[in-house]
Chain A
Amino acid sequence: MHLNYLANIGRYIPEILLVILMVGLILIEATYKEDEKDRRYIFITAIIGLVATFVAILFNMGGKPQAIFTNSIVIDDFSSLLKLIMVLGTIAVVYLSRFSKDIYETLKTEFVIMAVGILIGGFLLASANNMLTLYLGIETLSILSYVMASLKKNDERSSEAGLKYALYGGVSAGIMLFGLSHIFGVLGTIQFTGVAAMIPNLTTVQMAILMPSFVLFFAGIGYKIAAVPFHMWSPDVYEGSPTPVTTFFAIVPKIAGIAVLIRVTSVFFTVESPMKVGWIGLMLVVSALTMTVGNVTAIGQKSVKRMLAYSSISHAGIMMASLVMIGDVGIRAVLFYAITYLFMTLVAFYITSIVQDKYGNDHFDRFSGLIYRYPWMAVMMTVVMFSLTGIPPLAGFVAKYNILSSLINSKFYTLAVILGLNSVVSAYYYLKIVRLMVLKQPESEEAIEGFGFLNQMIIVVMTLPIFVLGIFWETIMSFANVSKLFIN
């Protein structure tokens, strides 16, 4: 028997590795006693496994885009690059969880397992090539995220976060499926391949079904990337979840969501049609709203984590902005943005997490006078904040610049201006941290244990790309350029 449907499974090695890793982790976890504190093998295994995945993806890069498993999955450089980012993020988060006090020691193993599971979901989403895979990916992401959010079992807030996440996620998934079902009804297939050609031939009536259905469909994706108005769960969940979980949520599901959004857009809306206009209009409105709402709400926050949550909403909005222009420039911009976003988010959350571990909360005031105690950390945080604001010559600027230029290239001046003004608004609350760290006197002189030499080194190393990408971004852009080679 010819296992046609298993052809080219070699390109699926990264995911397979992850699945093996997940199972392996569960097995290793089973060897520990319940109250055993030091579970280092879990972490070692996880990191080795993730690095292996990373390497496997790297090997995967550069090949021709290829749909495998009967068009269920497409492996192309675009998805591979996003997967790399997700893996990197996961590695960093796993390391963060190692020393974070926000997760119970005994549950850290579960955290790692869940993280790997969610990563698999993210991979699925990034490569999804039919509705089923997409749905599976989203649900894998979601269901495991519910668990992750409420991982701090004795904390009401954590449970509440998980609860909200679950309820909101359920509704969104339902709405998305409802939309998908109508899309399936009109197009008659759940595959993405070949759909693009069908779109222009649709009748008006079919179009009239399809477009609202796409809006419903978008609810599911939008909820994953926390686009307005599907974002409302995210600040609550981000705040309620343990910090490493928040970090993880800010990276993997978001990037996966962006990936799938790009995929969907490029599958369904490449050909000129009234639908494309409508979709792009939707994206315009949503991205403008997302940026604005995220930023504006972030202003008054007292908790740094919550502030970062809102800020990540607005960054998702900015990434979405590039979707209005599907083409090399847009994709390249969003890829670059994702890379820089990864590093900026990681550093910000690392430092926040460490500070939070020390004081038990993450109010802005806890950062007061950090520069007098940990100058390097304060400088790194400052750099990240400026980068998030979009001040050259930091990577955040280049990322925003690319998005902006893709917008202007396709003559979306209004959105470009909105994006710009949003940066100004965001400057306000990013500066708030900087202001506290640099301009205020410290509250106390106590040492913060989390800022050991190793952690400081790691944070510095993670900040370096922000500098480097800000000045020498040509290489990475060419890299992103390659991966614009896309399906179809």
Chain B
Amino acid sequence: MAGSNLLSWILWMPMLGVLGVLLMPKDKTTWIKSWALINTVITFALTLVLYCKFDQTQAGMQSAFNVAIPWIAQFNIFYRLGVDGISMPMTILTGLLFMLCILSSWTQIKKSIKAYFALLLLLQSCVFGVFFALDFFLFYVYWEVMLIPMFFLIGVWGGENREYAAVKFFLYTFFGSILMLVGIVALYFATNQSVDSFNILALSGGKFTQLNVTIFGQAVSFSKLFFVFMFIGFAIKVPVFPFHTWLPHAHVQAPTAISVILAGVLLKMGTYGFLRIAFPIFPDSAKYFSTAIAWLGLINVIYGALCAMAQTDVKKLIAYSSVSHMGFVMLGLAAMTVEGVNGAVLQMFNHGTSTAMMFFMIGILYERSHHRWIVKPDGSRGYGGLYTQLPVYSIIFIIGMFASMGLPGLSGFISEALIFLGIYQKFTTITVLALFGLLIGAAYLLWMFKRMFFGDVNPEVKEYNDMTKLEVAYMIPLCIAVIVFGVWPSPILNIMKASVGQLVSLMATF
């Protein structure tokens, strides 16, 4: 079947790109860039093909695309891929964002171009791997490998404090994933090392509700213990409140394209992990901890927003806004209702597009100003009057900003509304408080906008040029996505609803 290998094609296409980049001579930068672009375009096209062939009525994994090849048969480790309604939007998002990132890096990256594009493509492959993997071991491998390109991409091409940020990112994530690994192995042995012991799907369904483990002489519920482990692993990636401090550093220091990837795709892997792994495998514990998760999500929303308000570095501000927005996703997940979880998945997609826009825009601005201060450390205005100076830029910025604010008609609204609808059914107080997150969310963005774009033109700003054609070109797809899915979310919702529904009904039985 031609279709059945599609996932492998998508997964390995960027790897092909890496090979190609490596084989090219170092100084032929245009070749390298073009090759990377062609590669990502093909990949994106393949994801669209996947989307077209997607059977919306089928809940769970699409049987047409499943791949299962023994990898290490002795330990029942398989090369097992699959795609369902939850990973499908993420796949498209990944394909899209990487393509745009290549374009964005076209002029912004000036040193070690070959290595940069090779690592970027490697990263793409790993991200696809995470979203496709159905074998726990494979999942973990991709989850971890991704750290390596990220580490270098932040560390080599980042801002001033890049090393610190890169190491912090690495250590944080590594810490989380190690706990997850313990969980994975525990599951492997809890299911008697059978053929399906690494099969994420086969593990799902709450098979571990009765098991207990002994820690320091205390009997602890297996399911609760390892849910917490997995939770920490994924929560760091999201990032959920006490584990979020890597994010501002990583975002601020990373080059534009990497910030985009980080915020647009990588954060989603955390919540994707909840949906694919933590919730289906330990539904009882997820239910048990749902209040705690909801409170954490709430803290994320409010705390992230409040922190964002105080920032004077615009990129940091957006980074904190990501914390806040991912909090909504957590709220949706904690709700465990059809509306909430659908909203969460949609929010994952929508946040991916809107925050990517914001980071791209900041990157474009940075190309001109070489600083990112809203208010400089000496108290003077960093920008001011950008609206007058850069009209096109401003309009696109407004679209991105309002999308990220959740203005109805743009993408953020529907997902947030669904999340609220979902969470309200379970946690009234949290809903009430979280709604104020929307308020603060609007406040910090508008305040930032006011300080940067309104008023008379800063002398410094007068030298800036408006966006180039290339820059406009890679912003357009995101603008379209933000607007189209704001008005007509069905294309995304339809593919996810069957899978989400299945998950929610599983949760409902516990």
Contacts and interface: CB of A to CB of B under 8 A. Distances in A.
User: Do chains A and B directly touch (beta carbons under 8 Å) in the complex?
Assistant: yes
Interface of A: 386, 389, 391-393, 397, 401, 404-405, 408-409, 411, 413-414, 416-417, 420-421, 423-424, 427-428, 431, 434-435, 438-439, 473-474, 477-478, 481
A392 B178 contact: no
Contacts of B213: 411, 413
Contact of A401 (B145, B175, B185): B185
Nearest to A417: B182
Interface string B128-167: 0000000000001100110110011001100000110011
Nearest to B70: A474
Contact of A424 (B140, B162, B174): B174
Interface in B162-199: 162-163, 166-167, 170-171, 174-175, 178-179, 181-182, 185-186, 188-189
Given A397-B144, A404-B182, 19 more contacts: A392-B140, A392-B144, A405-B189, A408-B182, A408-B189, A413-B186, A414-B215, A417-B179, A423-B174, A427-B171, A431-B170, A435-B166, A435-B167, A438-B155, A438-B156, A474-B73, A474-B74, A474-B75, A477-B74
Interface residues of B, number: 36
B189 A473 contact: no
B181 A404 contact: yes
Interface of B: 71-75, 140-141, 144-145, 147-148, 151-152, 155-156, 162-163, 166-167, 170-171, 174-175, 178-179, 181-182, 185-186, 188-189, 213-216, 225
A417 B180 CA distance: 10
With most chain A CB atoms within 10 A of its CB, the pick from B72, B181, B188 is: B181
B72 A474 contact: yes
Contact of B175 (A409, A421, A478): A421
A428 B182 contact: no
B174 A427 contact: yes
Contact of B167 (A386, A393, A401, A431): A431
Given A393-B145, A474-B72, A424 B185 contact: no
A398 B170 CA distance: 19
B188 A439 contact: no
B156 A401 contact: no
A481 B73 CA distance: 14
A424 B171 contact: yes
A260 B140 CA distance: 34
A391 B145 contact: yes
A393 B141 contact: yes
A405 B178 contact: no
Given A392-B144, A411-B213, A435-B167, A420 B152 contact: no
Contacts of A434: 151
A407 to B, nearest CB: 8
Contacts of B214: 411
A404 B183 CA distance: 11
11 contacts: A391-B147, A397-B144, A404-B182, A405-B189, A408-B188, A411-B213, A413-B186, A414-B215, A414-B216, A428-B171, A474-B72
Contact of A409 (B74, B152, B189): B189
A474 B166 CA distance: 33
B167 A428 contact: yes
A25 B239 CA distance: 62
Nearest to B188: A405
A440 B140 CA distance: 30
The 5 residue pairs across chains A and B that have the minimum distance between CB atoms? A420-B178, A392-B141, A474-B72, A424-B175, A408-B185
B142 to A, nearest CB: 8
B245 to A, nearest CB: 15
A421 B215 CA distance: 17
Contacts of A401: 181, 185
